[in-house]
């Protein structure tokens, strides 16, 4: 074993604190350390994941207090799967932003990397923790890093976006606290497994109230309608790679928290109407808003929100096939959306407003980046033979199994709109003339950015042509989520434990 799950949180936290100190000594270390840390985290997460798949879930106990009194970390097929994706995407984001503000502004770069570390640490923490208050803490950590990163450019718009995010985040924190308080007062424990075991004993009235506040609290982070007003602004104003990090890492953590709560904590079986309804509304409003956007990043942000809505609908179906489809969608989205944000960031590099009009004809000047963007667009809209097709198919198959024809039809009609706005951008890139008056200067992407994009593109193609490479993992993760009892047993009876 290369390490234990707690390192996944501890090391980035430590690095975040150390970066300013080491930065005083050697400026470059500010950039290198995150890279090393993220690389190590990816490696650690992957190897733990492989071990978990082959043997058994890892439950790690912190500070010697056994559950249900102490905090424990759970590294299971599901959480391991998500963690690996998140750390890997963190690495990619680091790789892309390695040269960020190099030789220009040291302070800003330092802060950027610190918060990136915190963001990753917090997101991983949300996923692998087994204690709801611990989760709350990590949500707050993610929140603070996210606010800071949103306001990164210290302009008026960025500040406004961050402030909105802050308001919504604070409201969500309050709601979460209320939920946690209710649960704690009724059940006397903060441990997820314990709560799951005893949830039936809870007064149904309180149970529903708690669930509502949980949904609202986590919903802000998971970008559900109508709590996602902050999201378009935040994604637009944050730097490009941060947009990638948000969509690839943070949103996933939020969705995870939501479904962990519904599936495990409250042990709901069968279709969850609330998730389906909210997911559908999120999807419809987001995709139709995306159609009218003129700024590239804002359009991508709406698209991202819409995809999260779709994922929620898939989870809401409550069947194993639905969960499988949802996880597959999450995986593809985690790879493809950052790819779109990163390549979009390259394309709109030399402008501040980032209008789509300004990248007219860019394909002539930046062919490789444009092709990668097109690849991302084709993949997200679900064209074969790219990755998005298989996940969409899995979703439709799951919906067909449950005879949810109306949902299928709605999703497909919304997909038509998705195709329209993505293809509009593709048209602008490739099939319009490059006009000096409208278009901006092309930007020569750095070597590191290109490698990041190539890696992502390769994964998209690989999943597209050979989906079986990932479906095995997703299957196991889906099993894990569906099986609440297994979770409870593992934690409480201590499956495979490490004692700190």
Task: For tokens 């602008």, name the residue.
Answer: 428
Beta-carbon contacts of 36 under 8 Å, excluding residues fewer than 6 positions away, are none
Q: Which is nearer to other proteins, 295 or 490 (CB)?
A: 295
**What is the smallest separation between the CB atom of 383 and other proteins, expressed in angstroms?**
5
Cβ-based burial of 344 (10 A; exposed 0-12, middle 13-18, buried ≥19): buried
Contact present, 224 and 278 (Cβ < 8 Å): yes
Q: How far apart are CA 7 and CA 48, in angstroms?
A: 11
**What is the smallest separation between the CB atom of 309 and other proteins, expressed in angstroms?**
13
Q: Which is nearer to other proteins, 13 or 277 (CB)?
A: 277
**What is the smallest separation between the CB atom of 146 and other proteins, expressed in angstroms?**
16
Q: How far apart are CA 313 and CA 305, in angstroms?
A: 13
Q: For binding to other proteins (CB under 8 A), which residues are involved?
A: 160, 163-164, 167-168, 171, 175, 208-209, 211-213, 215-216, 220, 226-227, 229-230, 232-233, 268, 272-274, 277, 284-285, 288-289, 291-293, 378, 383-385, 389-390, 393-394, 396-397, 399-401, 405, 408-409, 412-413, 415-417, 419-420, 423-424, 427, 430-433, 467-468, 471
Rounded to a whole number of angstroms, the CA Rg of the chain reads 22
Q: How far apart are CA 472 and CA 463, in angstroms?
A: 12
**What is the smallest separation between the CB atom of 2 and other proteins, expressed in angstroms?**
31
Q: Going edge to edge, which strands form the sheet with 72-75?
A: 72-75, 58-61, 496-499
Q: Which is nearer to other proteins, 180 or 378 (CB)?
A: 378
Q: Which is nearer to other proteins, 42 or 381 (CB)?
A: 381
Q: Which is nearer to other proteins, 410 or 497 (CB)?
A: 410
**What is the smallest separation between the CB atom of 83 and other proteins, expressed in angstroms?**
24
Q: Which is nearer to other proteins, 59 or 216 (CB)?
A: 216
Q: How far apart are CA 349 and CA 202, in angstroms?
A: 54
Q: How far apart are CA 192 and CA 196, in angstroms?
A: 6
Q: Which is nearer to other proteins, 43 or 423 (CB)?
A: 423
**What is the smallest separation between the CB atom of 438 and other proteins, expressed in angstroms?**
15
**What is the smallest separation between the CB atom of 167 and other proteins, expressed in angstroms?**
5
For β-strands 72-75 and 496-499, DSSP reports them as: unpaired
Tell me which residue of 245, 108, 263, 115 sits closest to 195, measured CA to CA. 263
Q: Enter the DSSP assignment of 50.
A: H
Contact present, 250 and 221 (Cβ < 8 Å): yes
**What is the smallest separation between the CB atom of 159 and other proteins, expressed in angstroms?**
11
Q: Which is nearer to other proteins, 205 or 447 (CB)?
A: 205
The SS3 assignment for 191 reads strand
Q: Which is nearer to other proteins, 16 or 474 (CB)?
A: 474
Q: Which is nearer to other proteins, 341 or 389 (CB)?
A: 389
How many Cβ atoms sit within 10 Å of the Cβ of residue 273?
10
CA dihedral (169, 171, 175, 178) in degrees, to 10, reads 110
Q: Tell me the CA distances in angstroms from 177 to 13, 64, 171, 230, 264, one per residue in order.
A: 24, 26, 10, 20, 19
Strands, E assignment, 273-388 = none
**What is the smallest separation between the CB atom of 403 and other proteins, expressed in angstroms?**
8
Tell me which residue of 171, 186, 279 sits closest to 224, measured CA to CA. 279
**What is the smallest separation between the CB atom of 248 and other proteins, expressed in angstroms?**
22
């Amino acid at each position: 074993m290369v390490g234990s799950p707690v390192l996944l949180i501890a090391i980035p936290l430590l690095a975040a604190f150390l970066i300013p100190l080491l930065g005083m000594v050697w400026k470059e270390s500010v950039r290198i350390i995150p890279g090393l840390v993220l690389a190590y985290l990816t490696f650690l997460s992957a190897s733990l994941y492989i071990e978990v798949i082959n043997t058994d879930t890892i439950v790690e106990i912190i500070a010697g207090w056994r559950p249900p009194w102490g905090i424990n970390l759970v590294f299971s097929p599901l959480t391991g799967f998500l963690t690996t994706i998140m750390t890997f995407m963190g690495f990619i984001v680091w790789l892309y932003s390695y040269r960020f503000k190099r030789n220009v502004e040291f302070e800003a770069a330092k802060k950027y990397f610190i918060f990136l570390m915190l963001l990753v640490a917090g997101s991983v923490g949300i996923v692998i923790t087994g204690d709801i208050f611990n989760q709350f803490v990590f949500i707050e950590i993610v929140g603070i890093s996210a606010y800071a990163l949103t306001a990164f450019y210290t302009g008026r718009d960025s500040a406004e976006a961050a402030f909105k995010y802050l308001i919504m985040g604070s409201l969500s924190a309050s709601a979460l606290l209320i939920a946690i308080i209710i649960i704690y007062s009724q059940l006397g424990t903060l441990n997820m497994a314990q709560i799951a075991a005893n949830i039936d004993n809870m007064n149904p009235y309180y149970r529903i109230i708690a669930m509502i506040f949980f949904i609202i609290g986590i919903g802000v982070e998971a970008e559900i309608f109508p709590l996602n007003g902050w999201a378009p602004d935040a994604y637009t104003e944050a730097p490009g790679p941060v947009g990638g990090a948000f969509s690839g890492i943070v949103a996933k953590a939020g969705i995870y928290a939501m479904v962990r709560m519904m599936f495990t904590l409250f042990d709901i079986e069968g279709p969850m109407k609330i998730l389906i309804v909210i997911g559908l509304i999120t999807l419809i409003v987001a995709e139709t808003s995306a159609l009218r956007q003129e700024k590239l990043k804002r359009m991508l942000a709406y698209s991202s929100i819409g995809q999260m809505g779709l994922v929620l609908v898939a989870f809401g179906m409550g069947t194993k096939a639905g969960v499988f489809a949802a996880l597959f969608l999450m995986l593809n989205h985690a790879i493809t959306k950052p790819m779109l944000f990163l390549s979009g960031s390259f394309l709109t590099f030399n402008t501040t407003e980032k209008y789509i009009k300004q990248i007219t004809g860019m394909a002539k000047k930046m062919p490789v980046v444009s092709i990668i963007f097109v690849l991302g667009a084709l993949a997200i809209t679900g064209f074969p033979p790219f990755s998005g097709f298989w996940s969409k198919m899995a979703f439709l198959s799951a919906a067909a199994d449950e005879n949810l024809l109306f949902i299928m039809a709605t999703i497909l009609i919304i997909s038509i709109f998705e195709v329209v706005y993505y293809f509009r951008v593709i048209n602008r890139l490739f099939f319009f003339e490059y006009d000096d008056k409208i278009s901006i200067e092309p930007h020569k992407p750095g070597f590191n950015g290109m490698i990041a994009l190539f890696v992502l593109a390769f994964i998209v193609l690989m999943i597209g042509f050979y989906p079986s490479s990932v479906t095995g993992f997703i299957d196991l993760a889906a099993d894990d989520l569906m099986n609440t009892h297994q979770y409870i047993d593992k934690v409480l009876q201590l499956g495979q434990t490490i004692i700190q």
